[in-house]
Amino acid sequence: MSKSANYEVPWVEKYRPRVLSDIVGNQDTVKRLEVIAQDGNMPHMIMSGTPGIGKTTAVLALAHTLLGPDVFKEAVLELNASDERGIDVVRNRIKSFAQKKIALPPGRHKIVILDEADSMTSGAQQALRRTMEIYSNTTRFAFACNQSNKIIEPIQSRCAILRFSKLRDIELLQRLRQIAEKENADVTDEGYEALIFTSEGDMRQAVNNLQSTHTGLGLVTPDAVFKVCDQPHPLLVQNLLESCHKADIEDALSKLDELWTHGYAAIDIIQTLFRVARNTQSLEESLKLEYIKEIGWTHMRILEGVATIVQLSGLVARLCKMSIDPKVFKV
Amino acid sequence: MWSEFYAPSKVSELAVHSRKVGDLRHWLEESFSDTKLSKYRKLLVLTGTAGCGKSTAVKLLAKEMNVDVIEYLNESTYKYSNEDEYGESTSKRFSNFLGKSATYKPLSFDNERSNKQLILVEDLPNVLEYTTREASHDALRGHCLDGRTPNVPIVIIVSDSGVRGTGGNADEMVQTTNRDVVDARTVVPRDILDGPFCTTIHFNPIARTFLKKHLNALLDRHRDDNPYGSFKRPHDEAIDVIIDTASGDIRSAINTLQLASQMALPGSLSTGGHKRKAKPLSKSTRVDMEKTLDVLARREVSLNLFHSLAKVLRNKRHGFDDEDKVCSCEDLPHVSLPEHLEYKRRAPSHVHPTRLYEDIPVDVETYLLFLSHNYPAFNQDCDDAAVVADALSWSDSTSIGYNDSKQLSASVFEYVIRKTLHALPCPSIKRGQKIRKPAFFFAEKERRNGIESIKQNSRLAVTIHGQVDTNAIIVDTLPMLSRIWERE
Separation between Cα atoms, residue A61 and residue A319, nearest integer Å: 49
Residues of A in contact with B339 (CB under 8 A): 325
* Per-residue pLDDT, B83: 43
- Residues facing A161 on adjacent strands: A46
CB contact under 8 A, A274 and B162: no
Residues of A in contact with B348 (CB under 8 A): 285
Residues of B in contact with A295 (CB under 8 A): 411
CB contact under 8 A, B402 and A295: no
Nearest C-alpha neighbor of A76 from the set A65, A89, A86, A84: A65
Closest approach of chain A CAs to the CA of B279, in angstroms?
26
DSSP assignment letter at B349 = B
In chain A, residues under CATH classification 1.10.8.60 are 169-229
* Cα A241 from chain centroid (whole Å): 27
Residues of A in contact with B50 (CB under 8 A): 153-154, 156-158
Separation between Cα atoms, residue B249 and residue B164, nearest integer Å: 10
Is the domain A169-229 a CATH 1.10.8.60 member? yes
- B242 within 8 A of B259, measured Cβ to Cβ: no
- Contacts of the segment B213-217: beta carbons below 8 A, 24+ positions apart: B213/B15, B214/B15, B214/B250, B215/B239, B215/B242, B215/B243, B215/B253, B215/B254, B215/B257, B216/B276
3-state secondary structure of A195: helix
Over the stretch B37-72, which tens digit does the pLDDT of each residue have?
777 777 888 888 777 888 888 888 888 888 878 777
CB contact under 8 A, A29 and B295: yes
**For chain B, how big is the Rg over CA atoms in Å?**
28
Which of B6, B59, B76 to probe the A interface (max A CBs under 10 A)? B76
Residues of A in contact with B263 (CB under 8 A): 32, 35-36, 39
In chain A, residues under CATH classification 3.40.50.300 are 11-163
* Per-residue pLDDT, A314: 94
CB contact under 8 A, B341 and A286: yes
Closest approach of chain B CAs to the CA of A289, in angstroms?
6
Residues of B in contact with A41 (CB under 8 A): 1, 262
User: CA distances (Å), A184 to each of A179, A215, B34, B245, in order?
Assistant: 8, 11, 85, 48
Separation between Cα atoms, residue B210 and residue A297, nearest integer Å: 52
Closest approach of chain A CAs to the CA of B419, in angstroms?
7
- Report H helices in chain A: 11-14, 27-39, 55-75, 87-89, 95-99, 122-134, 153-158, 169-182, 189-199, 203-217, 222-229, 234-245, 249-261, 266-279, 285-304, 309-322
- Residues facing B44 on adjacent strands: B155, B199
Is the domain B17-77+89-203 a CATH 3.10.20.90 member? no
Q: B483 — phi, psi (to 5°)?
A: -65, -45
Residues of A in contact with B358 (CB under 8 A): 50, 165-166, 201
Closest approach of chain A CAs to the CA of B111, in angstroms?
30
CB contact under 8 A, A153 and B126: no
CB contact under 8 A, B123 and A283: no
CB contact under 8 A, B346 and A130: no
3-state secondary structure of A190: helix
Nearest C-alpha neighbor of A298 from the set B406, B389, B408, B416: B408
Separation between Cα atoms, residue B350 and residue B344, nearest integer Å: 17
Residues of B in contact with A39 (CB under 8 A): 262-263
Kind and range of the H or E element at B4? helix B2-5
Residues of B in contact with A288 (CB under 8 A): 418
Kind and range of the H or E element at B29? helix B18-32
Closest approach of chain A CAs to the CA of B194, in angstroms?
25
- Sequential pLDDT tens for chain B (488 residues): 777 777 777 777 788 888 888 888 888 888 877 777 777 777 888 888 777 888 888 888 888 888 878 777 766 444 443 444 445 566 677 777 777 776 666 555 555 555 677 888 877 777 767 777 777 788 878 777 766 656 678 888 887 654 433 334 433 443 333 445 566 667 777 777 777 778 888 888 888 888 888 888 888 888 777 766 666 677 777 788 777 777 778 888 888 788 777 766 666 655 444 444 456 666 667 666 666 666 555 554 566 778 888 888 888 877 766 555 555 555 555 677 777 777 777 777 778 888 888 777 677 878 888 888 888 888 888 888 898 999 999 888 887 665 556 677 888 888 889 888 888 887 777 777 788 888 887 887 777 777 777 766 655 555 555 555 667 777 777 788 888 888 87
Select the residue of B348, B349, B411 nearest A295 (Cβ to Cβ).
B411
Q: Which residue of B has its CA nearest to A30?
A: B295
- B44 within 8 A of B198, measured Cβ to Cβ: yes
Per-domain boundaries in chain B: 17-77+89-203, 208-273+280-297, 301-423, 442-486
CB contact under 8 A, B418 and A39: no
CB contact under 8 A, A28 and B1: no
User: CA distances (Å), A103 to each of A37, A78, A110, B243, in order?
Assistant: 19, 19, 10, 38
* Per-residue pLDDT, A68: 84
CB contact under 8 A, A325 and B339: yes
Q: A102 — phi, psi (to 5°)?
A: -135, 140
* Per-residue pLDDT, B328: 52
Q: Which residue of B has its CA nearest to A326?
A: B340
The region that residue B272 occupies, defined by phi over 0 for left and psi between -120 and 50 for alpha, beta otherwise, is: left
- A&B contacts, CB < 8 Å: 198
CATH of domain A11-163: 3.40.50.300
**For chain A, how big is the Rg over CA atoms in Å?**
25
Which of A120, A143, A293, A304 to probe the B interface (max B CBs under 10 A)? A293
Q: B157 — phi, psi (to 5°)?
A: -110, 120
* Per-residue pLDDT, A312: 93
- Residues facing A144 on adjacent strands: A47
- Sequential pLDDT tens for chain A (331 residues): 444 445 678 888 888 888 888 888 888 788 888 888 887 788 888 888 888 888 889 999 998 888 888 888 888 888 876 666 666 777 778 888 888 888 888 888 899 998 888 888 777 787 787 788 888 888 899 999 887 777 887 788 788 878 788 888 888 898 999 999 988 888 888 889 889 888 888 898 899 999 999 988 888 888 888 888 888 888 889 999 999 988 889 999 999 999 999 888 898 899 899 989 988 888 888 888 889 999 988 988 888 888 899 999 999 999 999 888 888 888 7
Give every CB contact of residue B28 below 8 A, 6+ residues apart in sequence. B61, B62, B65, B67, B118, B153
Separation between Cα atoms, residue B110 and residue B302, nearest integer Å: 52
Select the residue of B345, B348, B412 nearest A296 (Cβ to Cβ).
B412
The region that residue B165 occupies, defined by phi over 0 for left and psi between -120 and 50 for alpha, beta otherwise, is: left
Helices (H) and strands (E) in chain B, counts: 22, 5
CB contact under 8 A, A163 and B249: no
* Per-residue pLDDT, A42: 85
Tell me whether residue A4 is exposed, middle or buried, using C-beta atoms within 10 angstroms of its C-beta: 0 to 12, 13 to 18, 19 or more: exposed
CB contact under 8 A, A165 and B160: no
The third-level CATH classification (topology) of the domain covering A234-325 is Zinc Finger, Delta Prime; domain 3 (1.20.272)
- B14 within 8 A of B60, measured Cβ to Cβ: yes
Residues of B in contact with A148 (CB under 8 A): 300, 361
Residues of B in contact with A161 (CB under 8 A): 297-300
